[in-house]
Amino acid sequence: MGNVLFSLAGKIALITGGNSGLGRAMALGFQAAGARVAVTGRKAEKNAAIAAELGPDALVCALDVRDEEAVAATVKQVVDRFGGIHILVNNAGNVSLQKALEMPKTAWDDVIETHLTGAFLCAQHAGRVMAAQGKGGKIINIGSMYSIFGPPNVLHYATAKTGMLGLTRGLATELAAHNIQVNAILPGWIETDLNRQRMRAALGEHARRKTPARRLGVPEDLVGAAIFLASPASDFVTGVALPVDGGYSVADRYWEGP
Ligand code: NDP
């Protein structure tokens, strides 16, 4: 029973931003759970590295998720190669540090379009494929602790990540008629290319101390939750935002414990 509930055997998964960090861990985890995976990223070197890791059964596509034509072409490429799409993970993301009153519109647009518009476009194009298949589907949107907190110097990122919750709820309601479940994962603090410099400075120590689990996450910490939300185990779960954060979002203080 457990194996069937959490199996991704026979499933086809598309993971945006799958060439590094959290996306890479989810791609490898989905593959180990039986899925055929397609990952996307922009940088050729990173795409070549993940292609070598995933092997010839996987597809790696160069994609900028802000470009609707490219999103449509990538979804078509996945369908042409594997025959369909059952799972989409909207994971591609970027950030820059800017004070709100000094943030240029170009920086705002870049972050909002990558996270939020990119996720909308991928959900729309992959969702159409899932609806036409008539066999249900799963969409997982990667939010953040900044989906619920209001941190300094990343107003665009926090706005985009909060928007991911609205995207998740609205899609969950509309796509339920197609038996497509749409959920969000809110990762806690995990050192990746996105934040390595900051995590090795004071912010990393702050995050570690405020996390009840007493450690930062690693990308592999996300895999169990992602498999749950991608598998039949979550067929009656939709519209939720699941923190995978070692308790960071429920702790209101540093506490060294007994
Ligand atoms: P990485 O920098 O390792 O991964 C980001 C991924 O997104 C890369 O694969 C990158 O590929 C891709 N990407 C960036 N911009 C675009 C774009 N315009 N179009 C397509 N792909 C793009 O960081 P993480 O693994 O940490 O980030 C993954 C997700 O997790 C992001 O949404 C991030 O906000 C979220 N997150 C991360 C947390 C953490 O602590 N690390 C915490 C909470 C959320 P390429 O460089 O080739 O374009």
To which residue do tokens 């180990």 refer?
Answer: 32
In the reported structure, the alpha carbon of residue 92 is separated from the centroid of ligand 1 by a whole-number distance in angstroms of: 5
One digit per residue, the tens of pLDDT, for the chain of length 258 reads: 457 999 999 999 999 999 999 999 999 999 999 999 999 999 999 999 999 999 999 999 999 999 999 999 999 999 999 999 999 999 999 999 999 999 999 999 999 999 999 999 999 999 999 999 999 999 999 999 999 999 999 999 999 999 999 999 999 999 999 999 999 999 999 999 999 999 999 999 999 999 999 999 999 999 999 999 999 999 999 999 999 999 999 999 998 777
3-state class (DSSP) for residue 120: helix
- Say how many C-beta atoms besides its own lie within 10 A of residue 83's C-beta: 10
CATH code: domain 2-250 is 3.40.50.720
Pocket of ligand 1 (CB under 6 A): 16-17, 19-23, 40-43, 46, 63-66, 91-94, 114, 142, 144, 187, 189-190, 192-195
Question: Which pLDDT value is given to residue 257?
Answer: 74
Bridge-based pairing state of the strands 36-41 and 12-15: parallel
Give the residue whose CA is nearest to atom 22 of ligand 1: 92
User: Which of 28, 34, 29 is closest to 12 using CA atoms?
Assistant: 34
User: Which of 166, 252, 231, 190 is closest to 3 using CA atoms?
Assistant: 231
Question: Which pLDDT value is given to residue 229?
Answer: 99
Question: Which pLDDT value is given to residue 255?
Answer: 83
Phi, psi of 41 (to 5 degrees): -170, 170
In the reported structure, the alpha carbon of residue 42 is separated from the centroid of ligand 1 by a whole-number distance in angstroms of: 11
Would you list the DSSP string of 139-191?
Answer: EEEE--GGGT---TTBHHHHHHHHHHHHHHHHHHHHHGGGTEEEEEEEE--B-
Give the residue whose CA is nearest to atom 33 of ligand 1: 93
Q: Which of the following is catalytic: 146, 157, 248, 254?
A: 157
In the reported structure, the alpha carbon of residue 100 is separated from the centroid of ligand 1 by a whole-number distance in angstroms of: 22
Is 157 marked active-site?
yes
